[in-house]
Amino acid sequence: MKQPFSLPNLGILTALASSLCCIMPVLAILAGTSGLASTFSWLEPARPYFIGSTVLILGFAWYQKLKPQANDDCGCPVPIKMPFMQSSTFLGIITIVSALLLSFPSYAHIFFLKPETQKVASSSATVQKIEVQIQGMTCTGCEEHVKSEINKLDGITNLAVSYENGNAIVGFDSQKTGIGKITEAINKTGYQAVNHKIIKQ
């Protein structure tokens, strides 16, 4: 009867792998190791396969758990005392945790403090806007990580980051910060600022 025990563990591992690229930015921020955030972004293309594997594995585990029990000579079910880690309760807990892990990218943003864009008193002559192309972002958690790093700089007037477009649009006071510092802040997250262009105001 080892199988019901091992299948839930395998299911939770595939669920974890499916969202690891989005979990890492949160863990990196909490650990203060910002540059490790993009370590598992290479797993993103395999996410649908991990999700499918998790559903199949846990589905089979539930099938194993709910199929009719063996009968004795009189045709009555033989009660089997199961350890907790082979019980339906444990499998239910694993299923819920797996569902939370699979859906993590949709709520990852709540783990990041909402960055406040600084109110910068400056003349329009010193305010610039750039678009920076960024490689490696795969979810809203990645966006929030990049936002949090850029907003640590002085002189940021507005900021929009999109993992779908793979870019950040940054307004800043050129007397307080510069393009080099902005790209350095992005690279510090582990994602890569590949090029930028100045947007005309």
Q: Which among 133, 135, 186 has a CA at the least distance from the CA of 156?
A: 186
Read off the pTM.
0.65
Task: Please give the pLDDT value at position 126.
Answer: 80
Task: Please give the pLDDT value at position 168.
Answer: 95
In sequence order, the 6+-apart residues with CB closer than 8 A to the CB of 98 are: 11, 12, 15, 54, 58
For residue 120 the two structure tokens come to 């910068």
Q: Name which of 44-48, 67-71, 139-143 the model is least confident about.
A: 67-71
What residue ranges of the chain are covered by domains with CATH 3.30.70.100? 112-199
At residue 181 the predicted structure's pLDDT band, cuts being 50, 70 and 90, is very high
Dihedral sign, CA of 163, 165, 168, 169? Answer: negative
Q: What is the pLDDT of residues 6-29, one digit of tens each?
A: 788 888 888 888 887 777 777 766
Fold of 112-199: Alpha-Beta Plaits (3.30.70)
Q: Name which of 17-21, 76-80, 157-161, 166-170 the model is least confident about.
A: 76-80
